Structure 1
């Protein structure tokens, strides 16, 4: 979840047939957002009726954990979003639509450009109140959202006063009045002048920061008189902006932001292509606007001003355009180690170890919660895969029988009729599947992608080549996939529940009850989840699921490389670590939820090291791997939590490092091998990279 106190729990999943539209050829494209934004209705790409029948068959949760929500009727509740804190909890939390912060106040809202600072373990950019509007409001609710933007409705009693639109990658705070009214800014609007299309421009200065103001209303000091449909747009003026640049920024900000559409596409092949994302920033006037890519995302098709905003990921360029285009190199989904290069001695060692590990697998080996149980299934599935690769038919058949028995329970189409705990029920309030033995707040929709990714990965390994198993498990596993990554919003599931296409990574907290925004700790388990999704798509014959998994896998891995495993920290000299292991909307930490051990921050970014991990975790090469390990295991002692994964990571540095890692791995204490791993897989991984 967003809160992890320990590592080790259980598997997951739930029920339905998700029918997706397949794409063919070397380029595929899927558009989302737009007309589905406010209603959450299904498009023809998803059979929503089939989903409803399947989730109804699972049965309902005993009680939802959501509580009261500040959400308009008809919307699918948005868990795991950068703005979820606006919807759930006793009071709205601050949110962080990069590059700004925004929060609800007693009578309106306040925004700020966070002041970024760095200490030994934290890069901080918390919420600040530099500018805002007094609307006379006494409550808010989320009235519309898409994958990138959110619309907040301001009310006084039952009267709607107006709406504010915020979006990741936009510095704009766009307020539009529902009826004629006068709003009061938190400071005097100075330097007013005629702007484009009958607007008035000016600035507000507060706390050492200047904000630009563009409005269709009449300005009088701090008061702005708006007609119905009138607007006030606020944006932070970048440092060192000239008068000419400010005019250009004001012109680009003149029209209120209304929504952000998303198109995803792929080019080339899985091994040498790209996974592309186009985010269309739509304004009321349908023109260009201000867009702020994250450092490292590129500025293709944008006209950049040469100005920057300081953010917690570095200095971000301030650009003008209509579409932010993001490209990530494709990463072929994989769950099979290459053992072709093993020597006869290595093969003999591995055969003995697989037999030993398989002998310890029993009914008691599998947990009942959706994290630990999922890891248990994943561990045994990888052992089964190794047995098949080593032609150990007797071992493989025994492991397969146990895995099928366990996955049958998780994929019971009638819910908890078989096991009572290794199963899913449907939360019709929050619109999602919940394992019946909650772990790490999974009943609050924390960490669903971490949990359910293990089940999808294990099922893909076991069902590979078996039409019978695919047919039996597909109804529920497709629901599991839809819970974490529905390609569109339906009446049963939100679109892409956990993934943020602007941030290029997922958010782990379901309800996000934090003043620092949402967060994600284990980028590696997120990558593993999308690898499992893509593999399930391949095995089940769903090209659309496979393509969605490929897109998520490539982008999450790109973010993990850039922001977590090999981050550019030159802007933050006060930060004294090599890995950023806990990423929030408003800060970045070298820390974990569950341990102060120096091995934990690196280890949680490696677990569970699927075969695909070799293609991205070695970001930075031998030098970065060495720096990370020097920090994680300063005494060279791998008998620590995640010591197994750190040894696998070490093996990627060079052949000699792999040989050294293998020698340690042979005698690593059993208690220091993670519950999602076996000594067999640990040795096989290192041998395959020696």
Structure 2
């Protein structure tokens, strides 16, 4: 188990109820989490992956520039920009956006902050749980900035017009608490009146009860004004369904301070462990259905919340731990049992495909997909004993990767190269696509590169030395772990949800989002293959954990989603998941074949995880390909059909030969399609 984050100093806490004797207090200076990096809040990570001593010499070899102008940032000096986070909308852009630390929604206001429990509704194409500022807290602040964060939590400090610190509020995924700690003598004014003769005070807003835990005497008679001294805290939470405010308050020893992340593997599972750190030691947190049965002795009898991702069960304790099936990274198909006729057909197509490789695109998305295609052709050729073809493909792939792998190339070339953005702290391809210069989709893009580099290094181990400087920088952009001056920790991956977030700056009122769950899976598979080929076992282990978690989330929340609780939603998949809603849609097409296809691309050797039980694949395909597979993403839809048992496999094999070239994606080839189908048993 890898544990992150050193213990924080907290003052003795003797109260949890409004009228109890004592003061709700926590000693947590602003910036205690985060320090000079995103990971300082977590202390030392063991093992550290891509520490400064290793990565600094590599960063200096890249040209230093911002491909796109950095956005305005509400971020404390010294913190690395937290792109691709659930809370990125608080930080970037002209004004803050709402964020969704489930079960809550949260936003900054002109004088403070607001929060509320979203009302979950559904239409034919959307499951919604948008921002609900049910309770507004006015701190007479003039500005706000994120002063600390970790993988799961964020702390926002409020300042007066003269820049003096008023207090800081901490929120976290899975925590129903909004924890404000005063940094000076402060009076907070709430939009709702809280009252109660004993225990926590309660206000009812829009049919939901909200509870307040504060020092004795802090709440005035109106129930709307809370006076706090430095170090004192006020904690709010929505009362869970099936529990009382007093019972939940009794499990809260103080304000939330942050969340540590750890992971482990073994016994065929990958385990995530989140340590919710609160002043005094105990707190409450919520487990979503996709997190399966939480372990570590948590008492999960404190009621439930409704969320857009299903019913959240509320637990007391300090640790949320759950496991998912371990997924083995894969860089090659199983072609060991081909019959003579099938092998001959694949080899014949291989000759055609290997002879028709044209110029490769210059951006990181389509360029990466082209490298992925070449890598699979090389691997198949070598597996089938076609060494002459394989050698030619290896030369082509090595030449293409060599362009991208020249660290200083962007100093003189206009494309096919990378720079380091010193303002945003990340590696960016000079030719941007899909907002990659704004840190969108880096895991999608770089996963293709890392997969291709892993394939080349497997075929030619000497390639590692030539590729390592730039490929390790791409890997560091995605998977740095521990304190770093150059990259945020695990840029896109969210350990609470188990999946990644694709938007760099998240300029949306519905929070961050991810569309292609399968390209996220491909990212961690590619990372693992590169880590193995380049002999980086700690990186390989981290990649395996993220791969396993992302696969479990992809199935539970995208392709095999259980939407039965959301009456009115009319589809069998969800294709675009946000913090505050879930859509049957894509960013680029309203066509059903694209809506499912983007959850399948690129159907790499690891894609067997898409196999579903019962009739799910048939349901998904009935909507996506009602008239056949001669449509964009048709190759992937056909491969998906092959996962539906013997009949599905036979039908897919029969249809593959007549599939039009226009239905074969640029990350795929007819050779790979035939080989993939032949590898199904």
1:259 equivalent in structure 2: 258
* Residue among 512, 521, 541 paired with 1:527: 521
Cα displacement string for residues 571-617 of structure 1 (whole angstroms, at most 9, x for unaligned residues): 11211101111000000011101001111111110000111111x11
* 1:488 lines up with 2:461 in the alignment: no
- Where 1:190 maps in the other structure, the secondary structure is coil
**Is the Cα–Cα contact under 8 Å of residues 215 and 254 in structure 1 kept in the other structure?**
no
Q: In the aligned structure 2, how far is the partner of 1:564 from the partner of 1:337?
A: 25
Residue 501 (structure 2) aligns with: 507
| Structure 1 residue corresponding to 2:183, chosen from 168, 172, 178 | 178
Q: 1:448 aligns with which of 434, 442, 462?
A: 442
* Per-residue deviation, residues 128-171 of structure 1 (Å, max 9, x unmatched): 01113110012110000000000000111201100000000000
| Alpha-carbon contact 1:131-1:204 (below 8 Å) kept | no
Alignment-derived partner of residue 246 in structure 1: 245
**2:561, 2:572 within 8 Å by CA — same for their partners in 1?**
yes
The alignment partner of 2:106 has SS state of strand
Q: What residue in structure 2 maps to residue 277 of structure 1?
A: 272
Residue 60 of structure 1, CA deviation: 1.2
**Secondary structure at 1:335's aligned position in 2?**
coil
For structure 1, the 5+ residue unaligned runs are 1-28, 196-200
Asked if residue 352 in structure 1 is aligned to residue 348 in structure 2, the reply is yes
Contact 1:488 1:496 in 2 (8 A): no
Kindly indicate whether the alpha-carbon contact (under 8 Å) linking 2:450 and 2:530 is maintained by their aligned counterparts in 1.
yes
- Pair 1:167-2:159 in alignment: no
Matched with 2:18 is none
Map 1:129-278 onto structure 2 (within 5 A). Answer: 129-157=133-161, 158-193=163-198, 195=199, 201-216=200-215, 218-220=218-220, 221=222, 222-241=224-243, 245-268=244-267, 273-278=268-273
**In structure 2, distance between residues paired with 1:687 and 1:53:** 45
1:627 equivalent in structure 2: 619
SS in 2 for 1:187: coil
Q: Are the equivalent residues in 1 in contact too, given 2:290–2:553 (CA < 8 A)? A: no
SS in 2 for 1:326: strand
Partner in structure 2 of residue 38 of structure 1: 35
SS at match of 1:611: coil
Q: Secondary structure at the match of 2:402?
A: helix
**Which residue number in structure 2 is paired with residue 308 of structure 1?**
304
Which range moved further: 339-348 or 499-508?
A: 339-348
Whole-Å Cα distance in 2 between the matches of residues 590 and 316 of structure 1? Answer: 22
Q: Kindly indicate whether residue 70 of structure 2 is the aligned counterpart of residue 66 of structure 1.
A: yes
Distance in 2 (alpha carbons) for counterparts of 1:661 and 1:63: 44
How much is the aligned-residue C-alpha RMSD, in angstroms? 1.5
> CA, structure 1 residues 108+426, in 2 after alignment: closer, same or farther (shift >3 Å)?
same
Which is worse superposed, 492-501 or 462-471? 462-471
Does the CA contact (< 8 Å) of 2:189 and 2:225 recur in 1?
Answer: yes
Q: Provide the rounded CA distance (Å) in 2 between the counterparts of 1:467 and 1:382.
A: 17
After superposition, the C-alpha distances for 1:188-216 in whole angstroms (9 at most, x for unaligned) are 111142x5xxxxx2011212211010001
Match of 2:21 in 1: none
| 1:58 Cα offset (Å) | 0.5
Contact 2:525–2:544 under 8 Å retained in 1: yes
2:674 to 664, 683, 687: 683
Out of 313, 331, 338, the residue aligned to residue 334 of structure 2 is 338
Distance 2:564 2:302 in 1: 19
What is the CA-CA distance between 1:561 and the residue it aligns to? 1.0
1:594 aligns with 2:598: no
Alpha-carbon offset, residue 640 of structure 1:
0.8
Aligned length: 643
Shift, 1:417, TM fit: 5.1
Structure-to-structure mapping, 1:595-610, within 5 angstroms: 595-610=589-604
Task: Give CA deviations for 1:504-524 in whole Å, capped at 9, x if unaligned.
Answer: 000000000000000000000
Distance 2:126 2:594 in 1: 16
Q: Does structure 2 conserve the Cα–Cα contact (< 8 Å) formed by 1:412 and 1:418?
A: no
Q: Name 1:416's counterpart in structure 2.
A: 410
Asked whether 1:470 is paired with 2:464, we answer yes
CA distance, structure 1, for counterparts of residue 197 and residue 367 of structure 2: 62
Encode CA deviations 1:284-331: one digit per residue, 9 max, x unaligned: 112x21110111312222101251100001111111110000211111
TM-score normalised by L of structure 2? 0.92
For residue 468 of structure 1, report the CA deviation from its aligned partner: 1.7
8 A Cα contact 2:248 2:302, kept in partner = no
Query: Contact 1:172 / 1:253 at 8 angstroms: preserved in 2?
Result: no
Q: Give distance in 2, aligned partners of 1:572 and 1:633.
A: 25
Specify the SS of the correspondent of 2:60. helix
Q: Specify every segment of 5 or more residues in structure 2 that has no aligned partner in the other structure, as ranges.
A: 8-32
Is 2:103–2:305's contact at 8 Å kept on the other side of the alignment?
A: yes
TM-score by length of 1: 0.91
- The 3-state SS of whatever aligns with 2:330 is coil
- 1:39-62, CA deviations, whole angstroms, 9 ceiling, x for partnerless residues? 315958343033222112101125
Instruction: Give the CA deviation at 1:240.
Output: 4.2
Query: SS of the residue aligned with 2:146?
Result: strand
Residues 610-668 of structure 1 show CA distances to partners (whole Å, capped at 9, x for unaligned) of 11111x1113x241011111111122x10111110010011011122112111211111
2:630 is the alignment partner of 1:639: yes
